[in-house]
Chains A and B, each alone.
Chain A
Amino acid sequence: MVKDVVCTFCGNACDDIEFEEEYGVNLCPLGEAKFSKKDRIKAPMIDGKEVTYEEAIEKAAEILKEAKRPLLYGWSSTVNEAIRLGVIIAEKIGGIYDQCSSVCHAPTTLAMIEQGIVGGTLGQAKNRADIVVFWGCNPVEAHPRHPTRYSVMAKGFLTKGRLDRKVIVVDVRKTPTAYLATDFYVVKPNSDFAIFTALRSAINGNENAIPDEVGGLKRDEIINLAEKLEKAKYGVIFFGLGITHTRGHERNVEAVIKLVQDLNRKTRYILQPMRGHFNVVGSGEVPAWEVGFEYAIDFSRKYARFSPGEFTAVEALIRGDCDAAMIVASDPVAHFPKKAVDRLKEIPVIQIDPHPNLTTKVANVVIPTAIVGIEAEGTIYRMDGIPLRVKKIRDSKYMSDIEVMEKLLEKI
C-alpha cells in the first residue's frame, strides 16, 4: 500500500490518498477520474506521424529556434522543476512565458500588485475560522474535498467542527455549495465590486452611503451581512472565478482585499483565492523567483518584461504576435476564446501532455509525457502556496516533463 499520496487534480492537493494496487482511498470524484486509466497519446508525433522522442524533441527545438516570438504556455499541471526549465527556455529563445492564471486568477495577481493580500494557509480555516465565506466559487464541484478537509466541517483545535462555524455563500445562482451554507445570498451578475464597496461602507460606519439596493441585495441585507462578518473571531473569505471572470475583474478582487483589510481593523480575517489546477500557484511562483514576474512575460529584449493584456497568451495570439507556440500541460484550444484558437491553428504548435485533448488536434509536434503525481514526481504548490512533493506510484514508458524540458534546453 502507498500512503500519503498527493492528488494532482485541483488546488486542494489533498495529500492523504492511499493506494492499494489500483484502488485509491479518500479520492473525490474528480480525483478518482484523474487516477483512473484512460486514453493516452501513444507516441511522439510530427504532423500526425509517429516518431521517436529524439526526433520530436529535435523538431520542437527547431520550431522554437526558428520562431521570432514563440509562446510558451500552460504549466499549471506540471511540476516546478519542469516549469523552471520552461522559463529558462523562454528566456534563451526570446519568447513569451504565460500560464493558465492568465485566463483564471490573474486579476487576483493584479489586485495584489495594487493592494497586497491578507492571506493564510488552509490550516487557518481548519483551526481558527468561525466564519467561512464562499464568494463566487463552487467548491462542491470544483474543489470537492475542500469543505470536509479544510473549511466547513474540518475539525480544528479552536474551531472543533461544523457546529462552531457559520458558512456564508454568495453567488449569482444556487449551486450545490449553497446547501452547505448557514446563509446563502443570490446576487446579480457583475455586481461584486458594488457589493464589496457597500459592505465596506457598512463596516466603516458609512451606512448612509449605501443605496436601497445593491447588486440584488437590499440595504438592510448588506448591513446585516456586514454585521455577521464583523462578529467573527477569525474569518476566512474564499473567492473564485465568479469575481475574476466578471466585469471589473481585478477591481472586484481589489475591493474584496480592501474589505478584508477593513475587517482586520476590527477582528481577524484572511482571504484565499480558490486556485484551480494543482500547481497553478507554482506556475506563477517559479517565474517570479527566476525572472521577477508571475505571468505575461516577454523576453524578446533579452530581459523579462511583464505586461498583462500585451503578453498574456490570448491577446498575444489574437494580435498575431506569436509565430509558434509550445503548450505544456494545458489545453488552450478548449479554454481560449475562438479568435485565439484560430491563431493557434495557423502557427506551428508543439504540445507536451499525457492526454490527447483539443490542442492535440491542432498540434504539429506532439510529445506525450508521464502523468505528474502518478508516473512522475516533483514539487507542486497547493492553492495556499504550501509546497508538496508529488509521488511516482506507477511506472510508465513515457518520458517525464522534466526530462523533455532538459533535452529541449540542451538543443536550444
Chain B
Amino acid sequence: MIEVVVITGRTTEQGMTIDEKLSEAYMKAVNYCEMNEKDMEKIGVKEGDRVIVRSEVGEVVLYVKKPEVDLQPPEGIIFIPMGPYANRVVGILNGSGTPQYKGVKATIEKTDKNVLSIEELIST
C-alpha cells in the first residue's frame, strides 16, 4: 500500500460515451486509474490488475492502466476519469458549495476484489 494523491478529469473516451452511461463503453471509460509505472512496481501491479483506492470519502476498486511513459502521471499521483467510480473516493465538502474532486489524499493497493459494474455501484 502506498499513499497517493487522486486527480480526476475528463478524457476523450469519457466524453464520447457521456450520453450512453448505461453502456459497457462508458463503464470502461471510467472504471480505471492511471498510474506511474514506479508506483505500479511499488504495489506490485501490472496493467489490467485491480487496485483498491481508499480516501476519507470512501473506497473503490478499479482497474490499473499504464499510459505510455510520456503521459504517465508523476509518481505519487493517480488519475481517475470523472464519473461514478472516481466519486467514491473524491468529493470532499468544504463549505464553498463545490466539492473537492481533485488533489484528494488516498491510499492504493492491489486487491482481488471485483470491479463493480455501474448497476452494482449505484445500488450499494
Query: Which residues of A are in contact with B by a Cβ distance under 8 Å?
Result: 9-10, 29-30, 32-34, 38-39, 102-104, 106-107, 110, 138, 141-142, 144, 172-176, 186, 189-190, 241-242, 244-247, 249-250, 276, 295-296, 308-309, 312, 314-315, 318, 331, 333-338, 341, 354-358, 360-362
How far apart sit A106 and B18, CA to CA, in the bound complex (Å)? 22
Asked whether B73 lies within 8 Å of A173 as measured between CB atoms, the reply is yes
Are A33 and B11 within 8 A (Cβ)?
no
Interface size in chain B (residues, C-beta < 8 A): 46
Closest to B71 in A: A174
How near does chain A come to B27, taking the closest CB pair, in angstroms?
A: 11
Contact B122 A341 (CB under 8 A): yes
State how many angstroms separate the Cβ of B80 from the closest Cβ of chain A.
Answer: 12
A33-B96 CB under 8 A given contacts A175-B71, A176-B71: no
Interface positions of B from 40 to 92, Cβ below 8 Å from A: 57-58, 70-74, 77, 79, 82-84, 87-88, 90-91
Closest CB-CB distance, B96 to chain A, in whole Å?
Answer: 5
Q: Which chain A residue shows the least CB distance to B57?
A: A337
Contact of B101 among A174, A190, A245 (CB under 8 A): A245
Q: Nearest 8 CB-CB pairs, A to B?
A: A337-B91, A308-B97, A312-B97, A189-B103, A33-B16, A246-B103, A357-B21, A245-B102
Contact A39 B23, beta carbon cutoff 8 Å: yes
User: Do residues A334 and B84 form an inter-chain contact, with CB atoms below 8 A?
Assistant: yes
| Cα separation A364 to B10 with both chains bound (whole Å) | 29
A107 to B74, CA, bound (A): 26
Verify B87–A337 contact, CB threshold 8 A: yes
B19 touches A33 (CB 8 A): yes
Q: Could you say which residues of chain B place their CB within 8 Å of the CB of A186?
A: 74
Q: Determine the chain A residues whose CB is within 8 A of the CB of B102 once the complex forms.
A: 189, 241-242, 245-246
Interface of B is mostly: loop
B81-122 interface with A by 8 A CB criterion? 82-84, 87-88, 90-91, 93-103, 118-119, 122
Beta-carbon contact of A33 and B93 below 8 Å: no
Assess the A38–B98 pair: CB atoms within 8 A. Answer: no
Quote the shortest CB–CB distance from B66 to chain A (angstroms). Answer: 14
Q: Check if B100 sits within 8 Å of A246, measured CB to CB.
A: yes
CA gap between A252 and B44 in the complex, in Å: 36
Most chain B Cβ neighbours within 10 Å, of A189, A250, A334, A360:
A334
Q: Hey, which chain A residues are within 8 Å of B118, CB to CB? A: 358
| Interface assignment of B7: CB less than 8 Å from any CB of chain A | yes
- A106-B96, A309-B95 known; A174 vs B70 contact (CB < 8 Å): yes
A contact residues around B21 at 8 Å (CB): 331, 334, 355-358
CA distance A169 to B70 in the complex (A): 15
Check B58 against A356 for contact (C-beta < 8 Å). no
